[in-house]
A = this chain, B = another copy of it.
Amino acid sequence: MKITDLHAQNDFKPFGPSKLLVHESEFMKVINFNFKAGQGLPVHHHDLEGELVICILEGDGHFLSADAKIPAKAGDTLVCPIATPHGVSATSDMRVLVTIAPPI
C-alpha cells in the first residue's frame, strides 16, 4: 500500500510541466503532472494497445484532441485509447492525474 501526497511531493515549474511518477508496475503507470497557466502536453499518441485516464484534480484548462479543445475543470475526467491523439493545456495552474493501463 503506497500513499502519495501529490501536493507535498510535486510542485510547479516555471519552464514546463512538473512530472511525478506516482506508480509504475506491470499493471499500470500513474503520473501526476502539474502545469502552470499556459503549460500543457501537446496532442500526441502512441501506437499501442491500452487506455489512459486524465483526471483534473485542480485548476482549469482544456482537453485536446486532434481537432478539438474541450474545456476541462477539476472533477472532469477523460478516458481514451492511448492510440487516440490527446493532450491537455492549462488556463490556470492545474494538477492532473494520468493513469495508463497497461503501462507504456
Contacts and interface: CB of A to CB of B under 8 A. Distances in A.
Interface residues of A, number: 39
Nearest to A81: B1
Given A27-B51, A101-B102, A102-B101, A2 B80 contact: yes
Mostly, the A contact residues are strand
A25 B70 CA distance: 23
Contacts of A86: 1
B101 A75 contact: no
Contacts of A77: 3-4, 6, 22, 30, 32, 97
Given A28-B51, A55-B57, A79 B5 contact: no
Contacts of A5: 75-76
